[in-house]
Amino acid sequence: MMVKITIGRVVLVLCALVALGLGVAAAGLVPIAASSGHWKITDWFLHWTMQNSARTYSAVQTPKSVRDDSGLVSAAGHFRQACQVCHGAPGEPPSPVMQAATPPAPDLAKTAGHYTDRELFWIIRHGVKYTGMPAWPASGRDDEVRRMVGFVRRLPTMTTQQYRDFTEQALTAAAPSAAAGCTGCHGADGMGRGQPDIPVIAGQDTAYIAQALRQYRAGKRGSAAMQAASAGLDDRAIRTLSAYYAGLEGLPRTSIVPLHPIAAQGLPEAQLPACASCHAEGKPPPRIAGQRPEYLAERLRQWRGDDTVIDVHKPRQPMAVIARRIPAEDIDQLAKALSRATP
């Protein structure tokens, strides 16, 4: 006997299957225990789907530049604070607690080679649902993501000693114990270990350092590395660290000596104030005279934002607005002039 297939019967069967699925889910029969793991075919299918998704979306949702090999100290510092516990690191096994997750975080030294730089950037920036892999916590900080891509690329050949050299710096006798989480990137001397993306904080204004740490801790200031570093600091530790680094020899305690027209006069026709009008002793903005020029230039570009985004959709903080009024071709020369703008 032949069963005639009709649209009504097809719809009825589909509805029955949906009802059966909902019934199984409602009865709590779907095993969700991490202890049971996935079936091999389930694990394969989910991983295959993730790789295909990363390949597709990374082709359209990544910037032109996706990798930076010049700032590995800050990337390594963040990796140690936020990633090592799950993924492990050279000479450092992952936490057995985190490895009990389903799926467990992979050993990046073994799996990074399966992905292109663009795919790694997309995964680090956006995270992966249902895996415990979070999105990058600081929006608008593609510079940090690029440095992390560069760091992950080094993991397959990185030795234990190289990893320690990236992430560890001994405390001096004068340094407070609270600085242990700071020295890996900033150094015990507050000079940023000569890294282009790490600012000199030695000699910076005490109140400014404290304010910045509180803003990072509260998530009001964007930097994944600094948000992770400041998360465990209480107010007393913040006061201690601010006083310590402010008291070190570093940035000169002086106003800017204007060596560039924008620093001295601004651009009145563009409603751009002079740098010296705000970044002066006794005013809330930070000391920038003598700051590392690469850092200043990069921060100004970060404040400017993506050129493909229209101005109305960009941040409205004072420095973001000011940075967008600085001609792009003047940023590097201005940064160099500010770094030399000391008496």
Name 211's Cβ contacts closer than 8 Å, sequence gap at least 6. Answer: none
| Residue 50, in any domain of the structure | no
Q: Residue written as tokens 């949906």? A: 18
* 257 SS3 class: coil
- 202 φ/ψ angles, rounded to the nearest 5 degrees: -65, 125
Of 246, 270, 298, the domain-final residue: 246
Please give the pLDDT value at position 170.
Answer: 86
- For residue 292, the tally of other CB atoms under 10 A from its CB is 20
Please give the pLDDT value at position 315.
Answer: 74
Clarify whether residues 237 and 265 are in a common domain.
no
- In the chain, which ranges are continuous DSSP H helix? 7-26, 40-58, 72-78, 84-87, 96-99, 108-111, 117-126, 142-154, 160-167, 183-186, 206-217, 224-230, 235-246, 261-264, 293-304, 318-325, 331-339
CA 324-201-147 angle, to 5 degrees, is 60
d(CA 82, CA 246): 27
What is this structure's pTM? 0.89
Please give the pLDDT value at position 341.
Answer: 63
| Residue 98, in any domain of the structure | yes
3-state secondary structure 106-173: CCHHHHHHHCCHHHHHHHHHHCECCCCECCCCCCCCHHHHHHHHHHHHHHHHCCHHHHHHHHCCCCCC
Residue 317 belongs to what domain range? 261-339
For 140, the token pair is 């608008």
Q: Residue written as tokens 């803003």? A: 215
CA 202-191-140 angle, to 5 degrees, is 95
Please give the pLDDT value at position 342.
Answer: 62
Please give the pLDDT value at position 308.
Answer: 67
Clarify whether residues 108 and 156 are in a common domain.
yes
Question: Is the four-CA dihedral 151, 226, 104, 60 of positive or negative sign?
Answer: negative
For every residue of 183-197, DSSP letters joined together read: HHHH-TTSSGGG-TT
Q: How many CA atoms lie within 13 A of 214 on its CB side?
A: 12
* 274 SS3 class: coil
Query: Which one-letter amino acid corresponds to residue 151?
Result: F
Mean pLDDT (the chain, rounded): 91
Of 130, 164, 198, the domain-final residue: 164
| Residue 224, in any domain of the structure | yes
Clarify whether residues 80 and 159 are in a common domain.
yes
CA 279-281-283 angle, to 5 degrees, is 65
Please give the pLDDT value at position 254.
Answer: 79
Clarify whether residues 71 and 93 are in a common domain.
yes
d(CA 325, CA 319): 10
Clarify whether residues 78 and 96 are in a common domain.
yes
Please give the pLDDT value at position 343.
Answer: 58
| Residue 112, in any domain of the structure | yes
Please give the pLDDT value at position 304.
Answer: 86
| Residue 17, in any domain of the structure | no
For 41, the token pair is 């075919």
Clarify whether residues 137 and 184 are in a common domain.
no
Which residue ranges in the chain fall short of pLDDT 70? Answer: 1-3, 308, 310, 312-313, 341-343
Of 191, 212, 246, the domain-final residue: 246
Rg (CA), the chain: 25
Please give the pLDDT value at position 329.
Answer: 93
CATH assignment of the domain containing 219? 1.10.760.10
pLDDT digits (tens, 9 = 90+) for 148-204: 999 999 999 999 999 999 999 888 888 899 999 899 999 999 999 999 999 999 999
Please give the pLDDT value at position 216.
Answer: 95
**Total of domains in the chain:** 3
- 267 φ/ψ angles, rounded to the nearest 5 degrees: -130, 90
Clarify whether residues 290 and 232 are in a common domain.
no
